[in-house]
Amino acid sequence: MVNLATRFVVMEKKQIIIGAGLVGSLHAVYLAKRGVKVEVYERRPDMRAIDISAGRSINLAISHRGLKALDRVGLKEKVLEMVIPMPGRMIHDVEGNTNFQPYGKNGQHINSVSRGGLNALLMTEAEKAGVKIHFNQRCLKMNLETGKASFRDEKSGETQDVIADHIYGTDGAFSEVRHAMMMTDRFDYSQTYLKHGYKELSIPPAEDGGYRIEKNALHIWPRGGYMLIALPNLDGSFTVTLFLAFEGKYAFEKLNTEQEVLHFFNEVFPDVVPHMPTLVEDFFSNPTSSLCTVRCFPWKYKDKAVIFGDASHAIVPFYGQGMVSGFEDCYVFDQLADEFWNDKEALFDKFQHSRKPDADAIADLALRNFIEMRDLVADPKFLLRKKIEKALSAKHPEKWTPLYEMVTFSEMRYSEALARGKEQDGIMEEVLSWKDIEDNWESPAVFSKIEAVALA
């Protein structure tokens, strides 16, 4: 007679991640460090073996929350070796004058990092921790009740089904896992496109291999309804992104010929044109992409599936917090997992309720920062507000932290930062309405009045 005890070993629950982008790869590292034998299914080929762009923007900004999430799994220092610090914005006006605006105090900075480089590092670290990544596997559909996910091999065309106990959907803004959830009852979903799209361009390194414009800054050419930005790369180049309306007077629809593109750039961004020898070529070979905010709820289905990162909250890129907030998802999930690991439904539920208000807040903040970046950074009232806030914050660091610093350099919940930011708006609106404030705000009497209003 067969001894039943030898036949029924306790099977470890099968856990899979769909999507090995930035967030999925970091989550894989987190799960592996927890001792989970996780497998990842990724639609694209292995970017480390072939030269593919890892996504829509070649570099991106990583700031405190993202670094904190990397630190929890021991990867912060490795990533810091790949970054270029950006302690402020370099504003370029139409005449070509520049004005450096520090982001925070005491050298606080955000960092430019290669999207592909970071994604590759995270995949390698996940594999080192024991994760198996299956490339060229596109998830086509899934059955949330049974945990069956169907994949098509993008090379051979063959399909396979994988049955998992728990599925983590980190498959980006057009998530297939979310799509399956959308078919369930009482699933809220919205996607809202901006009237603006974006196009990536580039500034190559100087002939001596150096940087053609200031290396340690996030460059912005704000022009009211549109803007150009540039972030530095380690090789001396800059990734440049044009944010422009699809339709209208200044719009992508008006830029159809070499002459139109050169005329537009020479008219509104004249100082950068000499640094962009491949402008026309880049303009016509790179796609024009759209920008979308995705909100949905719930983020989980029973204990079977949960969605993270852009899959549950895709936001517009103007606060540099899309990936960062996805990394913070991994961090928060891991903290909750310490307590609820053995009850996945409770864990998924705690996670979604904990993160949803913050995901909504950073979505709103990102939309709001678009206006600030393209418009207000060149507005004298806005600059005056920045100066007053800086002075307040220097004198009362415990009581007044500007919104940008709360979002970018602190660990305060996004929802709290947004609420405090709205209060600050009201206070600053009042202060800026005072007569002659631009001339006398530094006088001791007026500054005391500002303190009385602001710190009440």
Ligand X SMILES: Cc1cc2nc3c(=O)[nH]c(=O)nc-3n(C[C@H](O)[C@H](O)[C@H](O)COP(=O)(O)OP(=O)(O)OC[C@H]3O[C@@H](n4cnc5c(N)ncnc54)[C@H](O)[C@@H]3O)c2cc1C
Q: Which stretch binds ligand X (CB under 6 A): 13-21, 128-136, 206-214, 296-304?
A: 13-21
* Structure tokens given for 44: 């694209």
Closer residue to ligand X in complex, CB, 47/454: 47
Task: Order the strands of the 227-232 sheet from edge to edge.
Answer: 98-102, 88-92, 218-222, 227-232, 238-245, 188-203, 289-297
Please tell me the distance from the alpha carbon of residue 269 to that of residue 277, in angstroms, as a whole number: 14
Residue window 311-340: x/- pattern of binding to ligand X, with contact defined by CB under 6 A:
x-----x--xxxxx-x--------------
Give backbone dihedrals phi and psi of 129, rounded to 5 degrees, phi first: -85, 0
Smallest separation (angstroms) from ligand X to the CB of 24: 5
> Position of tokens 């073996």?
49
Interaction between residue 244 and ligand X (CB under 6 A): no
Interaction between residue 41 and ligand X (CB under 6 A): yes
* Structure tokens given for 216: 């340690």
What number of helices (H) and strands (E) belong to the chain? 15, 19
Interaction between residue 125 and ligand X (CB under 6 A): no
Q: Which stretch binds ligand X (CB under 6 A): 52-60, 78-86, 364-372, 407-415?
A: 52-60
Buried b or exposed e, range 122-150, using 16+ CB within 10 angstroms: bbebbbebebebebbbbbeebebeebebe
* Structure tokens given for 420: 């405090």
Interaction between residue 176 and ligand X (CB under 6 A): yes
Interaction between residue 232 and ligand X (CB under 6 A): no
For ligand X, the binding residue among 56, 68, 76, 78 (CB under 6 A) is 56
Neighbours of 160 (CB within 10 A): 12
Closer residue to ligand X in complex, CB, 65/385: 65
Q: Which stretch binds ligand X (CB under 6 A): 3-11, 18-26, 359-367, 419-427?
A: 18-26
Neighbours of 434 (CB within 10 A): 14
Smallest separation (angstroms) from ligand X to the CB of 61: 4
Interaction between residue 309 and ligand X (CB under 6 A): yes
Interaction between residue 24 and ligand X (CB under 6 A): yes
Q: Which stretch binds ligand X (CB under 6 A): 31-39, 42-50, 67-75, 430-438?
A: 42-50
For ligand X, the binding residue among 30, 103, 135, 198 (CB under 6 A) is 198
Q: Which stretch binds ligand X (CB under 6 A): 19-27, 362-370, 388-396, 410-418?
A: 19-27
Q: Is residue 112 a contact partner of residue 138, using CB atoms and an 8 Å limit?
A: no
For ligand X, the binding residue among 31, 32, 38, 61 (CB under 6 A) is 61
Smallest separation (angstroms) from ligand X to the CB of 330: 10
Smallest separation (angstroms) from ligand X to the CB of 431: 31
Interaction between residue 233 and ligand X (CB under 6 A): no
Please tell me the distance from the alpha carbon of residue 203 to that of residue 185, in angstroms, as a whole number: 49
Among 338, 36, 12, CA closest to 165: 12
At position 340, the amino acid (one-letter code) is F
Residue nearest to ligand X (CB): 21
Smallest separation (angstroms) from ligand X to the CB of 56: 4
Residue ranges in 394-433 that form contacts with ligand X under rule CB under 6 A: none
Interaction between residue 57 and ligand X (CB under 6 A): yes
Among 150, 38, 148, 119, CA closest to 327: 119
Q: What is the DSSP letter of 13?
A: P
For ligand X, the binding residue among 171, 328, 358, 389 (CB under 6 A) is 171
Smallest separation (angstroms) from ligand X to the CB of 346: 24
Closer residue to ligand X in complex, CB, 323/337: 323
Closer residue to ligand X in complex, CB, 142/279: 142
The DSSP-derived string for 179-240 is HHHHTSTT-EEEEEEEEEEEEEEEEPPPTTSS-SS-SSSEEEEE-SS-EEEEEE-TTS-EEE
Beta partners for residue 6, in sequence order: none
Interaction between residue 44 and ligand X (CB under 6 A): yes
Please tell me the distance from the alpha carbon of residue 188 to that of residue 419, in angstroms, as a whole number: 24
Interaction between residue 68 and ligand X (CB under 6 A): no
Residues of this chain that bind ligand X (CB under 6 A): 18-24, 41-44, 55-57, 60-61, 138-139, 170-172, 176, 198, 241, 309-311, 317, 320-324, 326
